[in-house]
């Protein structure tokens, strides 16, 4: 088998583009996290802060969860991780 590349098998799919994060402003990320947490019954009322940080391989922002009950901690962390995988903090226009 030859080395793997983004164009394997002739499918014409660029994996860097496929897995690229969507740029979003602080307000957009805050709205997405808030809505996602409110949709989960255990996570309603969870308070959080979005913290900008130097870029790492995981991204350039993180969430500090506050006022989260022990039974909601796992679910809230999973929701935040999914959103972090999808969005990259960009400067507001």
Positive or negative CA dihedral for 68, 75, 17, 24? negative
Q: Does the predicted model carry a pTM greater than 0.85? A: no
- Residue 70 Cα distances to 15, 21, 75, angstroms: 37, 30, 10
Residue 91 has pLDDT above 70, yes or no: no
pLDDT > 90: what percent of the chain?
43
pLDDT digits (tens, 9 = 90+) for 69-88: 999 999 999 999 999 888 98
């Amino acid at each position: 088998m030859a080395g793997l590349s983004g164009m394997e098998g002739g499918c014409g799919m660029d994996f860097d583009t496929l897995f690229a994060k969507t740029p979003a402003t602080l307000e957009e990320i805050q709205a997405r996290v808030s809505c996602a947490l409110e949709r989960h019954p255990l996570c309603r009322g969870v308070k959080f802060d979005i913290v900008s940080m130097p870029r790492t391989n995981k991204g350039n922002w993180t969430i500090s969860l506050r006022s989260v009950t022990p039974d909601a901690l796992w679910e809230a962390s999973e929701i935040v991780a999914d959103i972090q995988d999808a969005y990259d903090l960009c400067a507001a226009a």
